[in-house]
Amino acid sequence: MLFSRCIQDYLKYVEEEKGLSSTTIDNYGYELKRFHQYFTERGVELAPKDVKLQEIHRYITWLREDRGYKPASVKRVLSIIRSFFNYLVWTGACGLEENPALNLPMVQAQKKLPQVMSPAETRKFLQGIKKVSNFPTRDYAIFLLFLQACCRLQELQQLKLSSVDLDKGKVEIKGLRGVRRVPLTLEACRALDDYLNVRLFLQGTDHLFVNPAGFPMSKPGISSLFKSLAKKTGVYRKGLSVHKLRHTCLVLKLQDGLNMNTLQKIAGHANPSSTHIYRKVVEMQKVRERAMSVKEEAEEEKQM
């Protein structure tokens, strides 16, 4: 069976059986196609059953040395390749009896803490939207919802009018692992109510957030909007993306005293360790605050 056909079958499998997001599936496809392309560009046309440990090792070395991949990125690529060949062994496709990537050593990658906005930056951003946005009512509702419902970009983009219940003060978010109902603050309910009063209604469009033409906003459109508003409000820095609003939301809720079990449910995390990392962010912020306080006290003593 052709390599490209095997990749297509695998991507269809992870989409239908694993329920992965379209973004994750696109990433899997990109990495596997580049893995195959690496060999074809060097005049080597391999079938999946011909791939040996040394070929994979050669590719990983190329990623590190020529492409400058960091350990975390290499670890991610290896995980995708292992999963792909596991699938081929499991299905018996391509005559593959053993996973050639099975004996590759695990890459140790230091897990970075999520980048978040400070409470002051969050307030500055939200208040600034009202002054610099072309559609302040809508945009304020969008980014306040990000910061209070802890939703992912795809989850927010796919919200429908029926997802929001302002009377009960809740929003229904459909994630990869089912539906979660997140309570809304009075401020969020007011912002959404204000937006719905000015939202352009078109027949057949039931998405909650729409563009000026009345059509559903796209994920790239929302990402671009965040970057533009972050720059205009003066909070943008390198690496800050719309997904960081989800991280910020989870950290703020933890700082407000929310327990870890409830936070995990709001986040939609299957693994508790994914939620516990935000406790480390809070602890690190406290360390920085103490260090800053000590520094300020030392400077005050010098001036006395």
Please write the tens of the pLDDT for every residue from 243-298.
Answer: 999 999 998 888 888 888 888 888 888 778 778 778 877 777 665 656 555 555 55
Give the ranges where 133-218 is alpha helix by DSSP (H).
136-149, 153-157, 186-198
Tell me the sheet residues that pair with 165: 170
Nearest to 125 by CA among 254, 213, 248, 218: 248
pLDDT-derived band at 96 (thresholds 50, 70, 90) equals confident
pLDDT tens digits, 40-54: 888 877 788 888 888
Backbone angles phi, psi at 148, to 5 degrees: -115, -20
pLDDT-derived band at 1 (thresholds 50, 70, 90) equals low
- In Å, how far are 105, 120, 138 from 187, measured between CA atoms? 51, 17, 14
- Written out in words, the top-level CATH class of the domain with range 3-95 is mainly alpha
- Altogether, the residues listed in the chain come to a count of 304
pLDDT-derived band at 16 (thresholds 50, 70, 90) equals confident
What is the reported pLDDT for 293?
A: 59
250 vs 279: CA distance, rounded Å: 9
What is the reported pLDDT for 185?
A: 92
Q: Which residue ranges make up each domain of the chain?
A: 3-95, 119-289
206 vs 144: CA distance, rounded Å: 20
Considering only 115-119, 184-188, 243-247, which range has the smallest mean pLDDT?
Answer: 115-119
Q: Does the pLDDT of residue 108 top 70, yes or no? A: no
User: Was domain 119-289 assigned CATH 1.10.443.10?
Assistant: yes
135 vs 225: CA distance, rounded Å: 11
Q: Does the pLDDT of residue 300 top 80, yes or no? A: no
Q: Which residue has better confidence, 178 or 32?
A: 32
- In the block, tokens 């078109």 appear at 202
Considering only 175-179, 191-195, 215-219, which range has the smallest mean pLDDT?
Answer: 175-179
Share of residues in the chain with pLDDT > 90 (%): 40
What is the reported pLDDT for 294?
A: 53
Taking every pair of C-alpha atoms in the chain, what is the biggest distance, in angstroms? 80
pLDDT-derived band at 114 (thresholds 50, 70, 90) equals confident
For residue 295, the surrounding DSSP H or E stretch is: helix 272-303
35 vs 301: CA distance, rounded Å: 60
| pLDDT, mean of residues 94-117 | 74
pLDDT tens digits, 121-168: 999 999 999 999 999 999 999 999 999 999 999 899 999 999 999 999
For residue 165, the surrounding DSSP H or E stretch is: strand 164-165
216-244: b (≥16 Cβ within 10 Å) or e:
bbebeebeebbeebbeebebbeeebebeb
DSSP label at residue 207: B
Please report the DSSP string for 27-95 in residue order. HHHHHHHHHHHHHHTTT----GGG--HHHHHHHHHHHHHTS---HHHHHHHHHHHHHHHHHHHHHTGGG
What is the reported pLDDT for 115?
A: 83
Q: Does the pLDDT of residue 208 top 90, yes or no? A: yes
